[in-house]
């Protein structure tokens, strides 16, 4: 929540400086629209994907997503994640190698999903850019 609040209060000003070249101010409108449609589920699901969770909260702050929704969706996902991790620990008992292997496999699969999503997004962007350059017809 701290990252959300920092991003919400100072993020736009930060983007008017040198960081503006990475996320231009005109793109904030599309970020706000995306969060209006997918924000809650994105926050809830991001907890389960390494690397993604670090990006979602600042984006939610920049998009001025409702703080109560962030609390609810992040809270539910944190509880679910911790139940999962503690459950693995309880199931593992003294077999910590088994628990470690489960978590390593989970991270490999989750990382693969993130990588596939990034590749799909890159391909989509390249296709859209090529279609725009080609023009009508």
pLDDT by residue for the chain (137 residues), tens digit each? 888 898 888 877 777 777 667 767 677 777 777 888 888 888 888 888 877 778 888 888 888 888 999 999 999 999 998 998 888 888 888 888 888 898 899 889 988 988 898 899 889 989 988 888 887 75
According to the model, what pLDDT value does residue 137 have? Answer: 56
Asked if 77 contacts 45 with a C-beta cutoff of 8 angstroms, the reply is: yes
According to the model, what pLDDT value does residue 92 have? Answer: 83
**SS3 of 6-68:** HHHHHHHHHHCCHHHHCCCHHHHHHHHHHHHHHHHHHHHHHCCCCCCHHHHHHHHHHCCCCHH
According to the model, what pLDDT value does residue 56 have? Answer: 86
**What pTM value is reported for the model?**
0.68
The residue range of the domain holding 20 is: 2-134
Number of domains composing the chain:
1
């Amino acid at each position: 929540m701290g990252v959300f609040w920092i991003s919400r209060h100072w993020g736009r000003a930060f983007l008017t400086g040198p960081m503006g070249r990475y996320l231009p101010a005109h793109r904030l409108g599309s970020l706000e629209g995306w969060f209006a449609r997918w924000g809650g589920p994105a926050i809830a699901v991001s907890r389960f994907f390494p690397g993604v969770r670090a990006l979602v909260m600042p984006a939610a702050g920049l998009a001025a997503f409702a703080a109560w929704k962030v609390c609810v969706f992040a809270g539910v996902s944190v509880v679910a994640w911790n139940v999962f991790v503690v459950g693995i620990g309880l199931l593992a008992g003294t077999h910590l190698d088994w628990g470690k292997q489960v978590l390593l496999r989970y991270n490999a699969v989750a990382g693969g999903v993130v990588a596939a999503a990034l590749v799909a997004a890159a391909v989509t962007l390249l296709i859209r850019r090529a279609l725009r350059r080609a023009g009508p017809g």
